[in-house]
Amino acid sequence: MLILTRKTEEKIRIGDGIEIKILEIRGNQVKIGITAPPNTTILRDEVYTRIQEQNRLAANAPADIKTLDAIVPTKEK
């Protein structure tokens, strides 16, 4: 892990296309701005973790109709 110290208005560059700017430091919170190419996905860690969890659950879901029929009740007409 690279650890850097930055002050307000200072920037960090990642490669040619990503720039992180420190906008504000207030107490134990830091407000940052990120400039990145439009096709770059940027997620907070808790959101990324939740997506990964949902993907794991979906990967373990039943894949065939017979299994789904056994799990999901259907309404009789």
The answer on 50 and 31 residing in a single domain is: no
Whether pLDDT at 32 is above 90: yes
Residue 77 lies in a domain: no
Q: How far apart are CA 22 and CA 33, in angstroms?
A: 7
The answer on 11 and 35 residing in a single domain is: yes
Residue 59 lies in a domain: yes
Whether pLDDT at 19 is above 80: yes
Residue 2 lies in a domain: no
* Residues 22 and 7 sit within 8 Å (Cβ to Cβ): yes
Q: In which domain, by residue range, is 17 found?
A: 7-39
The answer on 21 and 35 residing in a single domain is: yes
The answer on 50 and 32 residing in a single domain is: no
Chain mean pLDDT for the chain: 89
Whether pLDDT at 15 is above 70: yes
The answer on 61 and 48 residing in a single domain is: yes
pTM above 0.75, yes or no: no
